[in-house]
């Protein structure tokens, strides 16, 4: 008996849910690979299934398959161009693939859709730093440092609570100091 699109999608979501509770890395990877396979089946039946494209991208990103994740996210953005979360996922994949110029364009679009988004501001400052645009990077890091303390982190669409101090603030200070040093200040 052939499964329906909804059943396949739920199978993929169940695999992702299992992966969040796995005790061993090998189980985690297996669950995510099962999720990707289920989402691939969904997309074979319904190539424009937005949620399957999105979740497939998140699973692939967690598997460090950023090129494939990017393909899923870009396809999803074509279906939902005003979805800032999808555009942020595109930018995160581009940064992982060391393509900061393209990531910057995506991040600017996220900030157009959601002005002041903390995750987009942080990633934008990182992209400017990677591009060596030190004056713009300093200004971007200043904007990040002006944000209230943030104890959460967005990892490809999954918000994670950080239990330690605000390490991103420390990272922003260090990156800002590096850019200032390169500017001779």
Sorted by where each begins, the domain ranges of the chain are: 1-80, 84-185
Q: Do domains 1-80 and 84-185 have the same CATH topology?
A: yes
Dihedral sign from CA coordinates of 46, 56, 6, 51: negative
Query: What's the CATH architecture for 84-185?
Result: Alpha Horseshoe (1.25)
Q: How does pLDDT run across 142-181, given as a tens digit for each residue?
A: 998 888 765 566 666 666 655 445 677 788 888 898 899 9
Q: How does pLDDT run across 15-48, given as a tens digit for each residue?
A: 665 444 433 344 455 688 888 988 898 888 889 9
Q: How does pLDDT run across 69-103, given as a tens digit for each residue?
A: 999 999 999 999 999 999 999 999 999 999 999 99
Q: Find the helix or strand (DSSP H, E) in which 160 lies.
A: strand 158-161
Q: Can you give the pLDDT at residue 26?
A: 40
CATH class of this structure's domain 1-80:
mainly alpha
pTM for this entry? 0.79
Q: Can you give the pLDDT at residue 162?
A: 56
Q: Predicted confidence band at 1 (pLDDT cuts at 50, 70, 90)?
A: low
Which phi-psi region, left, alpha or beta, contains residue 156 (left: φ > 0; alpha: ψ -120 to 50)?
left
């Amino acid at each position: 008996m052939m499964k329906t699109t909804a059943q396949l999608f739920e199978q993929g979501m169940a695999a992702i849910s299992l992966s969040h509770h796995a005790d061993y890395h090998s189980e985690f990877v297996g669950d995510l690979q099962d999720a990707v396979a289920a989402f691939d089946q969904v997309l074979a039946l319904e190539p424009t299934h937005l949620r399957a494209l999105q979740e497939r991208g998140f699973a692939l990103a967690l598997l460090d398959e950023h090129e494939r994740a990017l393909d899923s996210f870009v396809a999803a953005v074509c279906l939902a161009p005003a979805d800032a979360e999808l555009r942020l996922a595109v930018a995160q994949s581009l940064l992982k693939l060391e393509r900061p110029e393209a990531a910057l364009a995506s991040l600017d679009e996220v900030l157009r859709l959601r002005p002041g988004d903390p995750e987009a501001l942080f990633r934008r400052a990182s992209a400017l730093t990677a591009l060596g645009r030190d004056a713009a990077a300093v200004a971007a890091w200043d904007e990040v440092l002006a944000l209230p303390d943030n104890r959460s982190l967005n990892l490809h669409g999954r918000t994670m609570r950080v239990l330690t101090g605000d390490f991103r603030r420390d990272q922003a200070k260090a990156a800002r100091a590096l850019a200032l040093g390169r500017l001779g200040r």
